[in-house]
Structure 1
Amino acid sequence: MSCDVFQNPRNFKISGRACQDKGLIVFETINLDIAPVDKDYCIILTKEEIIRHAHHMDLSESDRSITQFMEIVFNQLAIMNPKEHAIFENGKTYLSHPWLFGFNERDCPEVGDGKRLFPGTQKSVHFIEGPKGRGYVCPALVIDAKKAAFHEEFSLIEKAQRMVNDDFSCKVSEIVLERLNAGLKGLYFYTRHTDDERDHQIHAIVSHTAADTTFELQDGTRMSVLQYFKEKYGIKLEYPNAPLVKVREGGRFNNYPMELGTLRPMQRVSIAQQTPLQSQKTTKNCAIPPLERQNNIKKGAHALKLFGSDGNQFVANAGLYIYKEPMKITGRRLPPPNIRYYEGTAVVQDGKWRTTQGHFFMPARCEIWAIYAIVMRNERSRFNESLLRDFAKMFEAEASSRGMRMPPPTEIAVTSDDAELKSCLKTAAFHNCKYCLIVSADSITSVHKKLKLWERELEMVTQDLRLSTVEKVVRERRRVTLENIILKANVKLGGLNYMVDLNGVIGSSDAQRWLRPGRLFLGIAVNFSQQLDKSDNPAVVGYASNYKNHSVEFVGDYLFQSSGREETIDTMSVIVSNIMPKFAENHDGKYPRDLIIYRSGVADGSFKSLVSHEIPLLRGTLSTLGVKDINIIFIVVQKRHNVRLMLSHIDKSLRVTEQNIPPGVVVDSNVTRPAFKEFYLNSHTTLQGSASTPRYTVLVDDLNLSMNELEGMTHVLTYAHQIVNLSTSLPTPLYVANTYAERGRNNYGAYMACSNSASSESGGSLDCGRLAQRLSYKNTKLEDFRVNA
């Protein structure tokens, strides 16, 4: 159909059963939306056009058509070979038969219940400076190795039996039914008991069985499903008491016996379909060391014929060619700061250091506190309450040695369930208790999220520990473990463990200005719901800043906004309105001179909205607040990209941390975009797998800082976390903002799990402002404490 036949978008509907492709008959209706283009869609692929698009600083004029065209070309071989390649979003493809391309059984481990990891690749096209460096531009194909869990082509009945460890000799319980629905709902399977192979999608697993379910025949008689399949198809069902599978067919629902279905292969395993153990196995097996990752990238590129593009007719016909060797670039390593405590200074080596003896830089004080344990009644006989008293003495002694003022706990008690624990917390809060340390048995996994909601409701700081951790501290004298607990407690209670010291360390005369007084750092992170239906699940915007007295003292909060939006246009005004008066309150009534924003959760396609809407609104809000002549630097931080920086020579005999690039490595040319100030900074030590290096793109820079200043400032901020004696992967304001966003997500979930809340806040009528009033920390006793430390 030619687009010039109509002027307005048109919608066409066809029945899935009218399609020749058997894979489409499962769909009742297929919608086709066709819209006319607003210009001549002829892409000119010349060197001049590539340079013009790549160097365009005006985001309103940006055009991704050339990039998209190349990505389509590089994906064609996979599209044309669906039996070998499964195609997913964001340039991801997975191999259906990976052993044909050099992978082995170890590369594709089973993770349980008929789920297996399959290797693949993620690819994208970027315009970068290229081998010639600054002032040049060239397109680059970026390829990374991926692994993901897929459902294997299993008999549906065998899959279900593995999931719940049941032979279905008897009718299943409601709990088993819930587990089956959580693991199978939405998956596709096929049947072959008729003349042809038919596809179906699982709408639900129902409690009815083939033995107890009947339906009416045309002559008015009733027949059971069990009898029907025996008489109609000569099939004697082996599992008459197994639950039936409910599917939609032609506008109505039908039920099928499980044993007749077989799962279609290469269906992705969702988060909800994994048990915690399976999720751990998946994470562990996806953490691939650098040298192995390099080899997997090569195998994946060969499978797609993108390794030099030899033999790829689609690439050749488009006039493109891919070099066989990956780009080799030169990075440099930034020196770390020193870490200054009240009575000593620690020297950083390879991104880590040891806490010095003596007091914290700013010890906290807490006059009234308590310790509560939660241990199930059937485990109480194995629990010795003297363990808590011994731990309390050790905790108090360590806190005192660090300068913290904490007398013995006012109360030590043991509870048996959530209700009893909450009752103790309410009583403690009523008696002005400021801090509660909760010790939970390892078998109890559900209390943490509830506890943090109670913390907000009672406006009392909490910290929870596993019982096994307390046992190790007391019985094995794990001093470092106890030290880490105290580090966290001090920050939660408003203390500051150390300062970042730049004196005499950084080889730059500008270093002392990086954390200068009057400079406000603000991290903003967005946490999106993982559920498929996001309509009644708001996005959570976490933020953190150093509005208090010290440059590396970060405190934050979270807000809510409608789901599905990356920009924080509405919440940005609220955030700056919250923190600017607080900054002035702690700085003799003066507003900051500089505002440095680190922003995550933004895709490249949203840069235009940030520059044209979010940042101008920010300036307008600042002006309304009376914040004049403030300089803004706005940096987008991305970790979800597929650019991997690896050492050019890797010794596989070394530990994983030594195979990876070390902390402090920065790259700001060749692989960066020519239109922006941009750099990759690997600030952390990679403990497992391959380093994932954040990319920093500067969208606004009123101060016109040099690359050295931007990189150095960002690097030293990764040493301000306070809780662990390691540099972090992100600058502390953004790292803390992420944890606030996660806390907001968890508190929202716990809040909605309450029956009264769920009924009043459900549906699409969520009032994000009212949610913030109920769940955020503003105007509570906790608003100036980093409670999520």
Structure 2
Amino acid sequence: MMLNIDVSATAFYKAQPVIEFMCEVLDIRDINEQRKPLTDSQRVKFTKEIKGLKIEITHCGAMRRKYRVGQEHKHTYLPLEVCNIVAGQRCIKKLTDMQTSTMIKATARSAPDREREINNLVRRADFNNDEYVQEFGLTISTSMMEVRGRILPPPKLQYGGRVASLSGQVGWHSKQQACPNQGVWDMRGKQFFTGVEIRVWAIACFAPQRTVREDALRNFTQQLQKISNDAGMPIIGQPCFCKYATGPDQVEPMFRYLKTTFQALQLVVVVLPGKTPVYAEVKRVGDTVLGMATQCVQAKNVNKTSPQTLSNLCLKINVKLGGINSILVPSIRPKIFNEPVIFLGADVTHPPAGDNKKPSIAAVVGSMDAHPSRYAATVRVQQHRQEIIQELSSMVRELLVMFYKSTGGYKPHRIILYRDGVSEGQFLQLLQHELTAIREACIKLETDYKPGITFIVVQKRHHTRLFCADKKEQSGKSGNIPAGTTVDVGITHPTEFDFYLCSHQGIQGTSRPSHYHVLWDDSHLDSDELQCLTYQLCHTYVRCTRSVSIPAPAYYAHLVAFRARYHLVEKEHDSGEGSHQSGSSEDRTPGAMARAITVHADTKKVMYFA
């Protein structure tokens, strides 16, 4: 028997006067300078934040009464000036990006610090002197369990393939390989395996001209062209269109004009002033309405260009236009690649806590080539908080048909699915419903089509942490376990097939290894093969030149579901006080929401979600 002890952090509401809380929420510097009453949008925003919070009144002396604000059938009206927020209330709502960033910085602990903190907790708990522990005849070790792990060899990545031009001519470059070191590699001096030549492109700047001047846009264009040419994705000539715009209302008319005026338009680079409703509208129009490739970039990154930021932009642009950044070197891939195989990633995202109306979104992605580097996506709306993917059969069938077409008539002999976001209590449900749904999808295509299925669950939300017993083996500034560390003994299930794999280099805080459960395996892969395959897939994520914490298909499924949330957002309007939303997904029928997240036929051909 093992006892799992870890350190956790969460956000709490600060005990403070409600007036101060309102000023923080609405970004009011000084309440005494607030001459006008709150606008409608300010009231809506403040009401949303304070709803459900407990407050206490301060004008009754020693009798400090507490109230729960917002009871449905009992209205209580109190002046803000006499109200304080009660201490110790946990924030269950989704934090803003800034709040999340602040919290991570405040709570991040290097691996050695976290190890010391956990050991101190165990010593302070003094379990062996607890009367209940003694009553059961238990003794608990005060030291962490030691297990044997091993470091998997990283794959090699092939760069420097070919450049495909619009005319169809292909030019070959000398092939180059990258060898990851601690999950990181450098692309300098290398070119994309298949780079796309960009001849017709546009810039739409939604940041005010006073914050992003024309000379900054010109410099950004020059620097982007230089980096992209070096990467093997040549951008030829100046943008065919470069205009300023102000809000979401202008996105669709502008994009329609671009599509009709410039028939061969390949890409629209959209400059944004920060977090704005324009982003959701750009993705809605580009992905679902007109089928146009878009790449958003923050105004601060236009005004101050850096080679790293521009390189990251190129990684995303190339795959959005159908290119291939890099592939796993074929000669050292696992033997499962010897026959046609499709890799699937599946995930379901749910609305934030406290939202009881918005739907859950299920996404499944599938590899479309033998490398695997290109992926296609399918997405569905389903019932609120429903974790099991209801339409998995039709989604997998759709991806199998796309695989068949994109590979020139090959049928996958094996299907390997990485399923994200499922708890152990749902494993039986998964096998009963989702595994059956995959088999159904195959039989509906051909009655005798029965490829081998491997069903793997990926878990990140757990409290198992691995620390180096020997300090000399620690990696990076945070003293984490090295990338590629895998453990499949001691802390794993005694009879089931599971393992821990830390596939990434921890940059900040303590690395969290991913926990893999193999629920079904028709291919009878041994643990070495499956661990090696999983680790290699963690190196194929197109957005960066480093291995990531979960396999690329599972990561892409998460991105697709997250992008569909933006497709569901109806047009919002900027105002002086904030943004006003004209409609939301909860008001629409399931059919209307399904149509809203259906991507354009042209978009489906590429990795629009990258």
Q: Shorter-chain TM-score category? A: 0.7 to 0.9
Q: Is the aligned partner of 1:142 residue 2:9?
A: no
262, 265, 282: which one aligns with 1:451: 282
Equivalent residue for 2:38, pick from 173, 181, 189 = 173
State whether structure 2 residue 344 is matched by structure 1 residue 522.
yes
1:497-541 CA distance string (max 9 Å, x none): 11111535xxxxxx441433401100001111104133x311111
- 1:487-506 counterparts in 2 under 5 A? 487-501=315-329, 503=331
Give the residue type in structure 2 aligned to 1:427. Answer: Y
Residue identity matched to 1:762: E
1:263: how far off? 3.2
Structure 1 residues 276 and 579, CA gap change in structure 2 (3 angstroms): closer
SS of the equivalent of 1:758 reads coil
| Residue ranges of structure 2 left out of the alignment (5+ in a row) | 162-174, 574-578
Q: Which amino acid aligns with 1:147?
A: A
Deviations 1:134-169 (A, max 9, x none): xxxxx2221110112222444445544665444469
Alpha-carbon distance, 1:398 to partner:
3.9
Shift of 1:649: 4.2
Give distance in 1, aligned partners of 2:322 and 2:24.
50
Q: In structure 1, how many angstroms separate the alpha carbons of the residues matched to 2:355 and 2:283?
A: 25
Rate the CA distance shift 1:311–1:716 in 2: closer, same or farther, 3 A: same
**Which consecutive residues of structure 1, in runs of 5 or more, have no partner in the other structure?**
1-138, 204-246, 505-510
* Shift in alpha-carbon separation, 1:605–1:317, aligned structure 2, 3 A: same
Tell me whether 1:415 sits opposite 2:255 in the alignment.
Answer: no
Partner of 1:333: 151
* Larger-Rg structure: 1
**1:741 maps to what in 2?**
561
User: What is the SS of the residue equivalent to 1:256?
Assistant: coil
SS in 1 for 2:493: coil
1:388 aligns with 2:220: no
User: 2:420, 2:554 within 8 Å by CA — same for their partners in 1?
Assistant: yes
1:618 is matched with which residue?
A: 438
Q: Does the 8 Å contact 2:334/2:532 carry over to 1?
A: no
Equivalent in the alignment of 2:335: 513
Could you tell me how far 1:266 is from its partner in structure 2? 1.3
CA distance in 2, matches of 1:361, 1:624: 36
Instruction: State the superposition RMSD in angstroms.
Output: 2.9
Q: Distance in 2 between matches of 1:344 and 1:774?
A: 42
Provide the C-alpha distance between the structure 1 equivalents of 2:64 and 2:347, rounded to a whole number of angstroms: 48
Q: CA deviation at 1:197?
A: 4.8
CA shift in 2, pair 1:402/1:656, >3 Å: closer
**Aligned counterpart, 2:166:** none
Q: Is 1:762 the counterpart of 2:586 in the alignment? A: yes
CA contact (8 A) 2:12 2:89 kept: yes
The alignment partner of 1:590 has SS state of coil
Partner SS for 2:5: strand
Whole-Å Cα distance in 1 between the matches of residues 280 and 407 of structure 2? Answer: 35
Q: TM-score, normalised on structure 1?
A: 0.69
Offset at 1:390?
Answer: 3.6
CA distance in 1, matches of 2:211, 2:36: 37
Alpha-carbon spacing, 1:623–1:384, altered in 2? closer, same or farther (3 Å):
same
Which sits farther off after the overlay, 450-459 or 745-754? 745-754
Structure 2 residue aligned with 1:372: 204
Counterpart of 1:701 in structure 2 is 521
By relative contact order (CA 8 Å, sep 6+), the higher-ranking structure is: 2
Relative to structure 1, the CA distance from residue 315 to residue 766 in structure 2 (aligned partners, 3 Å threshold; closer, same or farther) is farther
Partner residue of 2:456 out of 625, 632, 635: 635
Does structure 1 conserve the Cα–Cα contact (< 8 Å) formed by 2:93 and 2:354? no
Report the 3-state secondary structure (helix = DSSP H, G, I; strand = E; otherwise coil) of the residue aligned with 1:267: coil
The 1:590/1:161 distance shift into structure 2, 3 A limit, reads closer
Change (3 A) 1:171 1:438: closer
Task: Check 1:158–1:512 CA distance in 2 against 1; reply closer, same or farther (3 A cut).
Answer: closer
- Residue 401 of structure 1 and its aligned partner are, at CA, apart by 4.2
Shift of 1:466: 1.7
Given residue 253 of structure 2, which amino acid in structure 1 is its aligned partner?
Answer: S
Identical-pair percentage: 25
Q: Tell me the equivalent position of 1:313.
A: 131
Is the partner of 1:146 in helix, strand or coil? coil
Does residue 185 of the first structure (1) align with residue 51 of the second (2)? yes
Deviates most, 159-168 or 361-370: 159-168
Q: In the alignment, what sits opposite 1:225?
A: none
Find the counterpart in structure 2 of residue 646 from structure 1: 467
Helix, strand or coil at the partner of 2:549: coil
Q: Is the 8 A contact 1:461 1:782 kept in 2?
A: yes
Equivalent residue runs for 1:158-169 within 5 Å? 159-160=21-22, 164-167=28-31
Equivalent-residue separation in structure 1 for 2:42 and 2:122 (angstroms): 43
TM-score where L is the length of structure 2: 0.87
For 2:221 and 2:103, the matched residues in 1 are separated by: 38
Separation in 1, partners of 2:277, 2:608: 19
**2:513 is paired with a residue of what secondary structure?**
coil
Q: How many residues align?
A: 581
1:199 aligns to 2:30 (yes or no) = no
Report SS of the residue matched to 2:362: strand
SS at match of 2:469: coil
CA distance 1:407–1:557, shift in 2 (3 Å): farther
State the Cα distance separating 1:774 from its structure 2 match: 2.8
Partner in structure 2 of residue 692 of structure 1: 512
Contact 1:338 1:502 survives alignment (8 Å): no
Listed one character per residue, the Cα deviations across residues 574-625 of structure 1 (whole Å, up to 9, x for unaligned) are 2111111111113342310000000011011100101222212321221121
- Residues 579 and 441 of structure 1: is their aligned pair in 2 closer, same or farther, counting only changes over 3 Å? same
State the distance in 2 between where 1:678 and 1:154 align: 47
When residues 396 and 280 of structure 1 are mapped into structure 2, their CA distance, relative to the original with a 3 A threshold, is closer
Partner of 1:352: 184
